[in-house]
């Protein structure tokens, strides 16, 4: 029997879960997340971003393709291209975090044109394929809700503020992100930037 392993880092969004099975990367979706994926996968932005490698290659499995060990747990199951080497934002260089942040915003802007947004702005939703960033959290996409972007604070805390820390204060961000996986709070950043121009 092949081992099914739930990714321990896949806990922030209870609507979907990343599962490793027999060398494959699967994502189980609850009913709402399955509906959100169906909406997103029908957009031009999904096609463009997938074809360009800016979001991880993903396909929805037919019921007869879902492994028996996973079947019945979710409303839908996706399969993602496997990223050969997993790295974390606290291991990245300044330019890597900058490029990942720029890609995150590029994807968000492209999706907004199709009425789709992202649930969060977490730096851990990105990986690198060689030297290029790729967005991996396909479960993050949803139809645009009312109000401002819900992921803005998280984007600032885990991408923008760490970049500002290094760019304006010459303090490498890596140790801060390693010790604070949720990033730098606005209050902490305000305190750190006091007296700078």
DSSP element (H, E) containing 141: strand 141-143
Percent of the chain predicted with pLDDT > 90 = 85
* CA 96 vs CA 42, 55, 109, 170, 174: distances in Å: 30, 16, 20, 16, 12
User: Stretch 63-92: mean pLDDT, rounded?
Assistant: 94
Percent of residues in the chain assigned helix, strand, coil, to nearest 5: 40, 20, 40
Residue 55 DSSP code = B
Query: Quick one: pLDDT at residue 39?
Result: 97
Q: pLDDT tens for residues 95-120?
A: 999 999 999 999 999 999 999 999 99
Cα–Cα dist 111/86, whole Å: 25
What's the pLDDT band for 197 if we cut at 50, 70, 90? low
d(CA 19, CA 4): 7
- Give this prediction's pTM: 0.90
User: Tokens for 13?
Assistant: 């969004």
Q: Quickly list DSSP for 10-46.
A: --S-TTEEEEEETTEEEEEE-HHHHHHHHHHHTSHHH
pLDDT (tens digit per residue) in 13-59: 677 889 999 999 999 999 999 999 999 999 999 999 999 999 999 99
Tokens 């096609």 found at: 47
Helix and strand counts by DSSP (H, E) for the chain: 7, 9
């Amino acid at each position: 029997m092949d081992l099914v392993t739930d990714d321990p880092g896949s806990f922030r969004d209870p609507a979907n879960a990343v599962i490793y099975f027999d060398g494959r990367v699967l994502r189980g979706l609850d009913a709402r997340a399955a509906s959100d994926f169906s909406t997103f996968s029908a957009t031009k932005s999904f096609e463009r971003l997938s074809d360009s490698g800016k979001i991880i290659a993903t396909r929805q499995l037919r019921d007869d393709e879902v492994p028996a060990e996973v079947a019945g747990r979710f409303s839908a199951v996706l399969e993602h291209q496997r990223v050969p080497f997993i790295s974390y934002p606290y291991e990245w260089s300044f330019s890597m975090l900058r490029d990942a942040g720029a890609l995150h915003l590029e994807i968000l802007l492209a999706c907004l044109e199709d009425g789709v947004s992202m649930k969060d702005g977490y730096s851990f939703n990105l990986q690198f394929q060689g030297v290029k960033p790729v967005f991996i959290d396909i479960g993050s996409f949803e139809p645009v809700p009312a109000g401002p972007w819900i992921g803005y604070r998280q984007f600032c805390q885990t991408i923008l503020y760490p970049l500002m820390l290094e760019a304006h204060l010459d303090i490498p961000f890596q140790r801060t992100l390693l010790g604070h996986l949720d990033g730098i709070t606005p209050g902490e950043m305000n305190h750190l930037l006091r007296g700078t121009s």
